Amino acid sequence: MSLGSGLARGLAITLRAMTRRAVTQQYPERMPELPPRTRGVIALFEENCTVCMLCARECPDWCIYIDSHKETLPPAAPGGRERSRNVLDRFAIDFALCMYCGICVEVCPFDALFWSPEFEYATTDIRELTHERDTLREWMWTVPEPPPLDPAAEEPKEIATARKAAEKAAEKAAEKAAEGEGRERT
Ligand code: SF4
Ligand code: SF4
């Protein structure tokens, strides 16, 4: 390729790039629109956590730290046995070690861990990348709503169970009300 044609080709490429629309986004003035399944950070819905330790055991980086203690509860019925349950004392994730594989979110049997698109937690001190339960809970409010079900999809088990229980309760209440009306008439 001669010098002249090389120069012309170079100039043509520069001209093309100059007239193309810029794709740069002016972050942080303009926040990026992230897809709903973005893996920004892991959020904890503490109420669902039973301290089963599955997430901590399955994490390939051993970066989930959980502490708990046992609490004794009185028997559910008179004469029954006392029950014990785990109470969460600490739940922390070290995001300096985390490789965002998502195994913890996948294996949690109680839907206590979720992906949040939140990404603004960069820090200059690596020790500040260990985030405790309060921060993990705050991130819970940034988790997007799940997409609506396909109209032909089966009703989810939890919703079907809750619906059946509500229907039964409504039936019982209606029966009781009818019985009460019958007694009043006689
Ligand atoms: S995303 Fe992967 S590496 Fe990070 S805490 Fe969960 S299991 Fe561990
Ligand atoms: S797997 Fe889920 S329920 Fe079990 S300890 Fe982890 S977050 Fe809690």
Ligand 1 mean position to 46 CA, how many Å?
Answer: 17
The residue contributing the CA closest to ligand 1 atom 4 is: 98
Q: Is the CB of 55 under 6 A from ligand 2?
A: yes
Beta strands in the chain (DSSP E): 41-44, 64-73, 83-94, 113-116, 130-131
143 and 162 within one domain: no
The per-residue pLDDT string of the chain (186 residues; one tens digit each, 9 = 90 and over) reads: 677 888 999 999 999 988 888 888 889 999 988 988 899 999 999 999 999 999 999 999 999 999 999 999 988 888 888 989 999 999 999 999 999 999 999 999 999 999 999 999 999 999 999 999 999 999 999 999 888 888 898 888 888 899 999 999 999 999 988 888 777 766
The residue contributing the CA closest to ligand 1 atom 5 is: 98
| pTM of the predicted structure, to 2 decimals | 0.74
Residue to substitute in 58, 59, 131 for testing ligand 1 pocket (most ligand atoms within 8 angstroms of CB) = 59
Helix (H) or strand (E) holding 178: helix 157-185
pLDDT for 52: 96
Ligand nearest to the CA of 104: 1
143 and 184 within one domain: no
User: Residues annotated in the binding site, as ranges?
Assistant: 49, 52, 55, 59, 98, 101, 104, 108
139 and 116 Cβ atoms separated by less than 8 Å = yes
Q: What is the CATH number of the domain that holds 100?
A: 3.30.70.3270
Q: Is the CB of 136 under 6 A from ligand 2?
A: no
Residue 87 burial (C-beta neighbours within 10 Å; 0-12, 13-18, 19+): exposed
The residue contributing the CA closest to ligand 1 atom 3 is: 98
Neighbours of 97 (CB within 10 A): 15
SS3 call for 17: helix
| Number of domain units in the chain | 2
63 and 98 Cβ atoms separated by less than 8 Å = yes
103 and 60 Cβ atoms separated by less than 8 Å = yes
58 and 100 within one domain: yes
164 and 143 within one domain: no
| Phi-psi category of residue 62: left, alpha or beta, with phi > 0 → left and psi -120 to 50 → alpha | left
pLDDT for 61: 97
184 and 129 within one domain: no
Q: Is the CB of 43 under 6 A from ligand 2?
A: no
100 and 168 within one domain: no
Residue to substitute in 45, 108, 115, 137 for testing ligand 2 pocket (most ligand atoms within 8 angstroms of CB) = 108
**What's the domain range around 166?**
153-186
Residue 2 lies in a domain: no
Residue 38 lies in a domain: yes
Ligand 1 mean position to 7 CA, how many Å?
Answer: 51
114 and 36 Cβ atoms separated by less than 8 Å = no
